[in-house]
Amino acid sequence: MQENKKNFIYLLSLIVLIVLLFFLIRPEKINSMEFNILDGEKLKSDDINKILILNFWATDCPTCIKEMPDLAKIHHEFKDDIELIAVAMPYDLPSRVINFKNKNALPFKVAIDPDNRILSEFEQVKLTPTTIIADKNKTIYQIIIGEINYENLKETILKLR
């Protein structure tokens, strides 16, 4: 009888551990949020039914500026499969972001975040650029800290399509 009780407690502990691990390592999802796009559009994450790529950047970040042509190329190549949003850091003045977008003819959506609502949702974003890639269900698939690699990003999109 004592042995059965021990086995039961062991089995119950194992089940509790498995359930806890399931909840601790389940994939992180992007919460429902609204993006203030420069053209005045309000875009809700819940309305996006594509692969979502969020690129956190700043107008004074040399690496961010360097990767913009590759992001434009990705946008053009996969515009039917992805929603690419470049989210300017909250400290970036909207006028500087607008000037940068216009001067560089960025073809993808650019959002401003002056009240820090978007950035505060992503504790992973500590440096610029940081790119977050989520599948169509808004499950975060990959986080890239630093400059993107065009070929690697293309490969990731092809996997998620």
Q: How many residues does the chain have?
A: 161
Q: Which domains does the chain have, with CATH numbers?
A: 29-160 (3.40.30.10)
- Reduced to 3 states (helix: H, G, I; strand: E, B; else coil), residue 58 is coil
Encode pLDDT of 15-60 as tens digits: 766 655 555 555 689 999 999 999 899 999 999 999 999 999 999 9
pLDDT reported for residue 77: 98
- Cβ(127)–Cβ(55) below 8 Å: no
Distance CA 130, CA 133 (A): 10
Encode pLDDT of 120-129 as tens digits: 999 889 999 9
Which amino acid is located at 141 in the chain? Y
Encode pLDDT of 73-101 as tens digits: 999 999 999 999 999 999 999 999 999 99
Distance CA 129, CA 65 (A): 9
pLDDT reported for residue 90: 96
Its pTM stands at 0.83
